[in-house]
Homo-oligomer: A and B are copies of this chain.
Amino acid sequence: MNGAEGLIRSLLASGVDTCFTNPGTSEMHFVAALDRIEGMRCVLALFEGVVTGAADGYGRMKDRPASTLLHLGPGLANGLANLHNARRAYTPIVNVVGEHATWHQRYDPPLASPIEQIARSNSCWVKTTASPQTVGEDAAAAVAASMEAPGGSATLVLPADVAWTEGGSVAAKRPVPPRRKVDEARVRAAADALRKGRAALVLNGPMLRAGPLELCGRIAAATGAELLCPTQMNRAERGAGRVAIDRIPYVVEMAQKRLANLRALVLVNSRQPVNFFAYPEKPSLPMTKDCEVLALAELEEDGVDAAERLADLLGARKSEPKREPLSRPALPTGATTLPGLAAVIAALMPEQCIVSDESITSGRGLVAATKNAPPHDWLVNPGGSIGFAMPVAIGAAVACPDRKVLCLQSDGAGMYTVQALWTMARESLDIVTLVFANRAYEILKGELKSVGAGEPGRRARDMLEIGRPDLDWVALAKGQGVPGSRAGDLDELARQLGAALREKGPRLIEVRL
C-alpha cells in the first residue's frame, strides 16, 4: 500500500467518502488508487472554484467534510475564493493538495509555489505530510480538525513521492472534541437582557436548524424577544411549520432601520452583525450605539445546550413558538418583475428542496416571499465572494440525492464558476438553475452611489454592465450538456420551472430581466 492508498483508506475510515477533484500530475497516484479502493465517490470539475464550492455545499448539508483534490499551489489558488466563502460558513472541508516530490522541490520547478502560505489564508489547519508512514494519522487529524467547532477547511499537502512510496498507513477515525459548554453567568446575562425587553436573539450556524430554532422560538414567545439571523446566514431550515425568523437586510439603511428599536442583541453561535462594506459617514455596525451585544454562545461553543439552559431559566420550555403557516401565492402572470419572480418560485418550490441562493439584487424579496413555502433548506454565501451558488448546488445535490436543488443564480456571479454546469450534467445532478439575467453587476450601481461616487458616466458604466454582448445562458448550458430554456415572462417561467421541477436531472432557465 502506497501513501496515496493509505490516505484514501484513512479518509474513508474517518467517514469521508466523497471527493471533489481537479487533479494534475502530482495527484496521479491518488487517482490511480481509486481503482483499487471501493467506497470513495469522486466528482470531477473543470475548474477548482467548482471543486471547493461543491465541498462547501456538501459539508453544509452533511455536517461532515468532503475531500477536495487540488493540483499544487495554483490549483489551490483557483479554489481559494470558494474556500473563503466556506471559511465564513464554518464548513468542514478536507483539502488534499498535491505537491512536487520532496527531492524535486529544491529545483523550484515551474509549478512550485508556497502552498502552505496560500492555504493558511483560508484554512484552520495546514500540514504537509512527511511520509507514507504518517499520511494516515495526518488524514485522520485533518478530518477531526475540519469538524472541530465551529468547523473549517483543513488542508493536507501531499508530496508526490509520499503518494507513490510504499509503506502507506491507515489510521482510525479520531474523536472530535465536543463543543464547549458556556458558563452559567452567560446564561444569566442573556436571560437578564431578554427580560429587559427590546432584545433579539441573533442565530446562525447550528441554531438555524429546525430543532434549535424551535427552542429559540419558545424563548422568544416567553420573553417577547425577536429572532434574527445575520445577512450572512449559513444554512437555514425554514418554511411552513418552522419558527419564524427575520434576516437582517444587506442594505445598510434597511439594516439600521430593522435594528433601530433594539437595546440588546444576544448572539448564539453568531458573530455580531456587521455591514458588508464601509461607506463614507456611515458606521460599520448596523445596530445603534447603545445597543448591548452579548454572546450567549460564541461560534465554537455549544449554543444548543446554552439555549436549552436559557429556556429552562426563563421557564420557556412549554411556550408556543410562532411558526410560519403554509401559504403559497397564486401564480402571477405577465411581464417579469422581481416580486413576480419571487412569487413564481414561492408558488412552485417543492417540499424539502435545497435552495442555493446567489440571486443578489434580483432576489432581495425572495427570502421574505418564500417563508411560507413548504419546509426547505436555504443556503447563503456568508463570505461574499461571488461564483458561489452553482458549485454549492452541486455539493448539496451530491450530499442529498433525493432532494431537489434549486439554484438561484445572478448572471454576473454565475460567470465566475460557469464550469459548474458541466459537472451537473456529468453527474446527472437533480439541480434546476434559474439564471437571473439583468446583464449588469446591478449591485455595483447601487454601491457606486452608496460610497458617494455619484452617477456613473459612460466609462464607469462599461465596468458595471455585462451586456454588449449579452450572455446567452441557454448556449452556455448547451455547451456543457445541460438542457436550457429562456423565460421571457412570468407565464413562460412558471411553465418551464414547473416542468423542470417535475423531471429529474439538471436544467437551466434563463430569466430575462
Contacts and interface: CB of A to CB of B under 8 A. Distances in A.
Interface stretch (A25-33, A130-138, A177-185, A190-198): A25-33
A313 interface: no
A146 interface: no
Interface stretch (A55-63, A113-121, A209-217, A323-331): A113-121
Given A121-B114, A463-B44, A469-B426, A277 B109 contact: yes
A438 to B, nearest CB: 14
Interface residues of A, number: 100
Nearest to A160: B278
Contact of A284 (B77, B107, B110): B107
Contact of A107 (B113, B122, B285): B285
Interface string A305-317: 0000000000000
A172 interface: no
Interface stretch (A149-157, A363-371, A382-390): A382-390
A34 interface: yes
Contacts of A488: none
Given A385-B111, A463-B44, A28 B453 contact: yes
Interface centre among A74, A78, A117 (most CB of B within 10 A): A74
Contacts of A168: none
A77, A118, A275, A415 interface centre (most CB from chain B within 10 Å): A77
A451 interface: yes
A108 B478 contact: no
A342 to B, nearest CB: 24
A110 B81 contact: no
Given A84-B74, A444-B25, A457 B35 contact: yes
Interface in A446-467: 447-448, 450-454, 456-460, 462-464, 466
A276 to B, nearest CB: 6
Contact of A453 (B31, B77, B448, B481): B31
A84 B100 contact: no
A456 B278 CA distance: 52
Nearest to A445: B28
Contact of A47 (B384, B415, B457): B415
A32 B454 contact: yes
B120 A385 contact: no
A49 B77 CA distance: 10
Nearest to A465: B44
Nearest to A71: B385
A416 B50 CA distance: 10
A447 B28 contact: yes
A278 B103 contact: yes
Interface stretch (A218-226, A347-355, A417-425): A417-425
Nearest to A412: B46
A418 B416 contact: no
Interface string A400-426: 000000000000100110110010011
A23 interface: yes
Contacts of A117: 117, 120-121
A109 to B, nearest CB: 5
A47 B412 CA distance: 9
A191 to B, nearest CB: 27
Contacts of A383: 74, 110-111
Given A77-B84, A284-B104, A453-B28, A42 B416 contact: no
Given A34-B463, A104-B278, A426-B469, 15 more contacts: A23-B463, A24-B447, A25-B444, A31-B456, A32-B456, A35-B458, A109-B277, A110-B232, A118-B118, A164-B451, A164-B452, A164-B453, A418-B419, A475-B475, A476-B480
- Pick the 9 closest A-B CB pairs, nearest first: A469-B481, A35-B457, A104-B278, A74-B385, A475-B479, A101-B278, A32-B453, A77-B80, A476-B479
